[in-house]
Amino acid sequence: MIDVLPLFKALADEKRIKIAALIGTRPLSVEEIAVAVDLKPATVSHHLAIMRDAGLVEATHEQYYTVYRFRQQPLLDALRAASETPTSPDIAESLDQYDQQVLRHYLENGKLKTIPVQRKKRDALLRFLARQFEVGRTYTEREVNAILAAFHDDVATLRRELVEANPALLARSQGRYWRVS
């Protein structure tokens, strides 16, 4: 996996973002950049060194000057790699722990004390309720109500929330329900 932290640290400064924008349009020397961003050349050189270490800047010699170009490919590669990375077990485990904490608070003897008002807590509860339905099986509304009634009397609200959740946890068509995933 690509280490994205150095890339984003290198861009985590307002002046470096301005420098990146400048040298992204055309190659510039330290002196040209310094004038454009109102910094001393030594300060610009410092910022460029940080960006070069992260792989975001390349330097080439042209006549008597060194000119700098912005390399966006490492940034694009890092973003692509981050979007392709599956959720790590640590994150999934932390979410499961949160859900368990919410359930411990809202369930008493297997019944809901109340339906959470806060969206995040309600989503944790809905994920739990969705797991009460088998994947690949369809249910009638009566069957859905029977399953939900074991947890709370307001089955209409729970049923509607499961269908309208984002992403949906139960799907509905012509009076039939099924677990989405």
Any idea what the CATH number is for the domain that residue 60 is in?
A: 1.10.10.10
Whether residues 70 and 96 share a domain: the answer is: no
Q: Give the Cα separation of 125 and 122 in Å (integer).
A: 5
> b or e along 135-166 (b: 16 or more beta carbons within 10 Å of the residue's beta carbon)?
eeeebeeeebeebbeebbeebeebbebbeebe
Q: Is residue 117 part of a domain?
A: yes
Q: What is the pLDDT of residue 166?
A: 81
Q: Is residue 141 part of a domain?
A: yes
Q: What is the pLDDT of residue 88?
A: 45
Q: Is residue 84 part of a domain?
A: no
Whether residues 40 and 111 share a domain: the answer is: no
Q: What is the pLDDT of residue 98?
A: 87
Query: Could you tell me the residue range of the domain that residue 26 belongs to?
Result: 5-79
Element holding 96 (H helix, E strand): helix 89-106
Q: What is the pLDDT of residue 92?
A: 47
Whether residues 42 and 120 share a domain: the answer is: no
Q: Is residue 97 part of a domain?
A: yes
| Bond from prior residue into 167 cis (ω within 30 degrees of 0) | yes
Provide the whole-model pTM: 0.50
Query: What's the Rg (C-alpha) of the chain?
Result: 27
Q: What is the pLDDT of residue 95?
A: 54
Structural domain count, the chain: 2
From residue 160, how far is each of 8, 68, 101, 116 by CA, in Å? 42, 58, 24, 15
Whether residues 68 and 98 share a domain: the answer is: no
Q: Is residue 28 part of a domain?
A: yes
User: Which residues of the chain have a pLDDT value below 50?
Assistant: 88, 91-92
Q: Is residue 50 part of a domain?
A: yes
Q: What is the pLDDT of residue 83?
A: 66
